[in-house]
Structure 1
Amino acid sequence: MKKFSLLLLTVLLVWSCTDNGPSGPDADDFDREAILVNWADNIIIPSYTNFSEATEQLHTDAATFSEFPTASNLLTLRTSWESAYLAFQTVSMFEIGKPMELRYRDNLNIYPTDTTEIEDNIESGSYNLELPSLNNSQGFPALDYLLNGLAEEDTEILTFYTTHPEAENYRQYLTDLTSRIDSLTNEVLTDWTSGYRDEFVSNSGNGANSSLDMMVNDYIYYYEKHLRAGKIGIPAGVFSGSPLSSHVEAYYSGDFSKELFNASLDATQNFFNGVHVNQPNQSGESLDDYLDYLNTMKEGTDLTTLINNQFDAARQQASSLNPNFAAQIESNNTAMLATYDELQMNVVYMKVDMLQALNINVDYVDADGD
């Protein structure tokens, strides 16, 4: 009788500690393919399509500026650079399939950019942008330097493309960078629309190599390492012990780093909720629905609500930041650190609580220990 009582007590304790209860829905019963279809057709492919249009315009404007390096064309090129950079925030999280093979994100957005390497490449006129060793001298950060960082005034910047001894090389390097961004993006989009979409959707099982498991891991990795750490934590000095204001995204452009951050934050929350890219008033199956199906609760509140509330809390905290993150760090870094703390809460909710509920294992190494 004593042994039976102990066994009954153990069962009751296990039952009481399980958020979903012993008879809650099984994660394997959810229609995972419906999520993959919504992601592919309403989020991923439309995002790459929009981004491809932006990169084509960027390269067109770079070619025009290279041929006619005027003040007006410089402003036009900057505008298309900003538009493409913002559009990139909607695809940067999708490092699966062809982007993973190409190391797409590394080719387009490693910052801070290596200005010494850029100048060496321009001076020599000989470089191979396909080499991984040149990832930090190309992409959007390198364009930021070439369009905004060569000098303080636009009239001085223009001289690098007109009267400078290496003016022709500057113009060539500029168009080579935009051409590579455009060609890599076209390669990724073509892959998605010519077969990979069906492969992605059909791989709807569960397990480390399933599309959903890999995509969720890539999504959380992006949120943790590129949004939370890259855009906020690293420049704010969370990992180095001292602020690194020159490590902000779009450092040379000035008042653009906050806009990029907000675009990324919006994109990650919209993905979580399955919001359609071209019809933002509509949404389909996504992680929020999966968690709701499982009745996933944490401390008496459903996890979907907690995650969305935390996205909103991070956005609210960031709303008071200077549009120029470098200036914000130098004037009041405490506000940047507070934004990081709000972002960090969703790392816990998604990387721990959500993955546990979905029975998905983390597939990447946590180098910074959080």
Structure 2
Amino acid sequence: MTADEVGALIMVMCQQWEKMGVLVSDPARFAAYAGWDIRVAKRLLARLIEIDKIKATERGIENARMSQEISKYIAKVRGAEAREARRRAESENQFADEKRRISSEHAPNFSKKFETSSPELSRKDNQINKPSSRAAPLLESKLDTDSKSARPSLVLEKANRKVQARSAIEQFNHFARQHGWSVVSEFSDKRLADTAKRLDEIGGLDRFVLALNQVPYDDFLMGRIPGRNGRKPFRLCLETLLSTGSGLGDVLARLIDKASETPELIGPNGERWGFWRPDIEKLKTLSAAFWRKRLDDVKSNGTWPWWLLGPPPGHEECFVHPDIITELGLADKYRDTAAKVSVSTTANPRPPHDQLG
């Protein structure tokens, strides 16, 4: 299997685990989840089916091993819930027994009242045998304890938070392998807990993925700016991305804010503006011959089809081979298009990288 095929298989299994079931057979959804071009997603899914790593059924697509692990996990969670239900039932029974015992100990003894004919003794007995008011607070405390034990089980909620944290780290590792960041090799309980806490703070896994897709925009986080005094360029790691107290500040929040500043632009074929970003480094290596043939096949007809060719020449993100841009005079031809696209996709100018923190 190629590196792309391995990455696609991991993404399928992560998404299947997150959904706790079979995935809908929709390459567009998978492409959006993985942050890939839909054409790449279609090719990789077809390849995984061909080599029998995933199966396509009437219900959708699935990895057989992951389906087994999901079944085991669900059985484990249900077993934990059953044990919790038994424990709660035992607690309720103990409470009922204790309540009966307390009631019997503090009940009035009417037998003495009828054994004597003396009105004075009878009045005395009535006063002595009157139910003690001290029983009420004791019963109330028992009721409070039982109400606490009757809270809904938190087992499934904790397990789901752990799954979300693991999925977030897997997503980070996917980007890290593509762009040369530090890959997370150990999924410790502390790392999972820290990740889950940050996911709660930023609003969930989807916003975490949104932030990851914004990192390739930033030259500093991508390590494209040389280090000072001969030091190595910055290399992003998970701890820095999650941290809020480093010199960079709250990186996740800033990336999410930056993503929200850019209105979504969708092409006629359904491609969203920015579909090229996860593969930008590979796209920049395409040869001039490739671009010459590609432009001849597409035939732009005066309007640059960014949904097929990426940003127009003259735009800061354009990755068309520079020799082709010069040879065909594309920068002058599409200067107005590049300006319009820049205005429509950027609400505010990007801050300098030294202001990120």
TM-score under structure 2 normalisation?
A: 0.24
TM-score under structure 1 normalisation?
A: 0.23
Structure with the bigger RCO (C-alpha within 8 Å, sep 6+) is 1
Larger-Rg structure: 2
| Structure with greater helix share of residues | 1
